[in-house]
C-alpha cells in the first residue's frame, strides 16, 4: 500500500497549535507575565533540568487530565517537554478541553539547549 500522505501526524497536530519559538520565549513571557509554565515531562526529568517556575504535570500519569482540570480555563499556559511530542499532545488536549490560551514551546528543551545552551534553565542536584 502506497502512503500518499506527505504531512507527518506531528506536523499536522502542531499546525493546529500556537507555537512559540525558543528565541521568542523571553518576549512572550514579558508580554504575558501571568503565564503559567507547564512541564509535561516525568518528575525525574523535571528535577534534572527545567525552566524556572514551571509546574510539573506529567503527561504520562493516569491523572494527567484530572490535574489539568484544577487549573483555570482562562489563564495563559505555555507547555513544554523535551522534544515537543508530549507538549503537542498536552496542548491539543487542553485546547479540546476548553483552555482558551494555550501555547507550545516549539522544539521543547532540546531546541532550547541547541539554541541557547543551558542559559535560563535550572539544573537539579547532581
Give residue-wise pLDDT tens across range 10-32.
787 887 899 999 999 999 999 99
User: Mean of the per-residue pLDDT values for the chain?
Assistant: 92
Domain presence at residue 1:
no
Does residue 87 carry a pLDDT above 90?
Answer: yes
Does residue 118 carry a pLDDT above 70?
Answer: yes
Q: Write the CATH number for 20.
A: 3.40.250.10
Domain presence at residue 92:
yes
Domain region containing 68: 9-123
- Exposed/middle/buried for residue 109 (C-beta within 10 Å: 0-12, 13-18, 19+): buried
Domain presence at residue 4:
no
> In the chain, pLDDT over 70 holds for what percent of residues?
93
Structure confidence by residue, pLDDT tens digits, 57-68: 999 999 999 999
Domain presence at residue 3:
no
The closest alpha carbon to 109, from 117, 98, 101, belongs to: 117
Domain presence at residue 46:
yes
Supply the pLDDT for residue 1.
Answer: 46
What single string gives the DSSP state of each residue in the chain? Answer: ------S-HHHHHHHTSEEEEGGGHHHHHHH-TTPEEEE-S-HHHHHHEE-TT-EE--TTSTTHHHHHTTS-TTSEEEEE-SSSHHHHHHHHHHHHTT-SEEEEEETHHHHHHHHHTTTT-EE---
Supply the pLDDT for residue 119.
Answer: 92
Does residue 7 carry a pLDDT above 70?
Answer: no
> In the chain, pLDDT over 90 holds for what percent of residues?
85
Work out how many domains the chain is built from and give that number. 1
Amino acid at each position: 500500500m502506497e502512503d500518499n500522505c506527505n504531512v507527518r501526524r506531528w506536523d499536522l497536530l502542531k499546525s493546529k497549535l500556537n507555537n512559540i519559538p525558543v528565541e521568542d520565549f523571553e518576549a512572550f513571557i514579558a508580554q504575558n507575565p501571568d503565564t503559567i509554565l507547564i512541564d509535561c515531562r516525568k518528575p525525574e526529568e523535571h528535577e534534572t533540568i527545567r525552566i524556572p517556575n514551571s509546574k510539573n504535570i506529567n503527561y504520562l500519569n493516569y491523572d494527567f487530565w484530572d490535574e489539568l482540570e484544577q487549573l483555570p480555563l482562562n489563564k495563559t499556559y505555555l507547555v513544554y517537554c523535551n522534544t515537543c511530542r508530549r507538549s503537542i499532545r498536552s496542548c491539543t488536549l487542553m485546547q479540546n478541553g476548553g483552555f482558551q490560551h494555550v501555547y507550545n514551546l516549539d522544539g521543547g528543551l532540546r531546541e532550547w539547549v541547541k539554541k541557547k545552551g543551558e542559559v535560563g534553565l535550572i539544573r537539579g542536584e547532581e
